[in-house]
Amino acid sequence: MSKSYVYLSLPSAAQIACYAQDPDTGKLSWGRDTSLPSGAAPLAVDRAQCCLYAALGSSQIASFAIDPQSGELKPLNLLTLSAVPCFLSLDQSGRFLLSAYYSAGAAAVHPLNPDGSVGEVPAVWLSTARCAHAILTDPSNRFAFVPHVAQNNVIFQFLFDEKTGRLEPNRVSKVKPLPGAGPRHYVFHHTLPVAYFDNEQGSSVTAYHLDGQGSLSPFQTLSTLPEGFSRENSCAHIAIHPSGRFLYAANRGHDSLACFALDAAGRLQPLGQQPTEKTPTHFALDAAGRFLYAAGQGGDRLASYRVDPASGRLSPLEAYTVGANPYWVLPVSPGGH
């Protein structure tokens, strides 16, 4: 049986912590820390769960091989960039690493070398607009989107060439969300042509239909907050359950995870909010969808929850003291996929 780990970026300590996960109970046991040249924030893993990628505040991307028996991260290479990446992802083929750049207002695609390290010469580096916050390819690997928060409040739509890694503006190159929304992160439904964006400034989730030409059209927006909440809040991360039946979005301010059920058409149905740690900027479900882990960036703890497979609701398990300002959470099962 393959082993499972949860990696956690600790930017203040310039480390990535590795915890062994018990797949039956969700319990985490600290194993080791990996020191970095500077603080790491976003993390990503390849489809085979063999290589881990970390975006560094020193305008670099660090690549590591994952030891499946110990979880140890073995350095592959360190790529120096002209800007700080705020988001990393792999395309569906696993041949390219995509990155978004908040302050620089850009998106890039780098080829991966046979050993999993990141190629030095990007396949493409494109200027978009300030406050670019994410980039992913859709399940068909033909399209990619770059949402922008704050004043730019726009989603750029691209055609993706999985042979070359090139990005080209789609025929409809931009989608303008509702005023003040600020689309930040997004996920695709596993079986439906639907994408879900959480809106940083709007404290909401918007569901979009994705047509065969790679254009998004919104069909539903719901608040992530309980009725009557009026204090400051911003959305952070969004994740969909492996079953495709539930969706979660993080509230920073209300300090909760907004929970939604998804019906057969992909429409959202509110399930309420699960209180969590202070400033939950990032969280993640494990591959089986049995457990969810949420990092409290405003404190020093990582919270764990059991996911009810029938209702999608979260039951608190344990909160681990992990060090100041934990940020990105990445469950990994090397060799298990």
In what order do the strands lie in the sheet containing 136-137? 136-137, 143-148, 154-160, 167-175
pTM: 0.97
At 239 the pLDDT is 98
Decide if 257 contacts 329 (C-beta within 8 A): no
pLDDT at res. 1: 58
Q: What is the pLDDT of residues 286-309, one digit of tens each?
A: 999 999 999 999 999 999 999 999
Residues ≥6 apart with Cβ < 8 Å to 290:
23, 26, 306, 307, 309
pLDDT of residue 41: 87
Burial 43-56 (b: 16+ CB within 10 A, else e): bbbbeebbbbbbbb
Mean of pLDDT values over 245-264:
98
pLDDT tens-digit map of 132-173:
999 999 999 999 999 999 999 999 999 999 999 999 999 999
The H or E element containing residue 207 is strand 204-210
Look at residues 90, 94, 107 and name the one whose alpha carbon lies nearest to residue 169. 107
337: pLDDT strictly greater than 60: no
On the question of pLDDT at 20 being above 60, the answer is yes
Q: Return the domain boundaries, the chain.
A: 69-173
Residue 68 has pLDDT above 90, yes or no: yes
243: helix, strand or coil: coil
What would the mean pLDDT of 2-15 be, rounded to a whole number?
95
Q: How far apart are CA 45 and CA 11, in angstroms?
A: 18
Q: State the chain's mean pLDDT as an integer.
A: 97
Assess whether pLDDT exceeds 70 at residue 336: no
Q: Are 123 and 98 in contact (CB under 8 A)?
A: no
Res. 27 pLDDT band, cuts 50 70 90: very high
Cβ neighbours for 269, distance < 8 A, ≥ 6 positions apart: 260, 261, 262, 263
Q: What is the mean pLDDT of residues 215-222?
A: 98
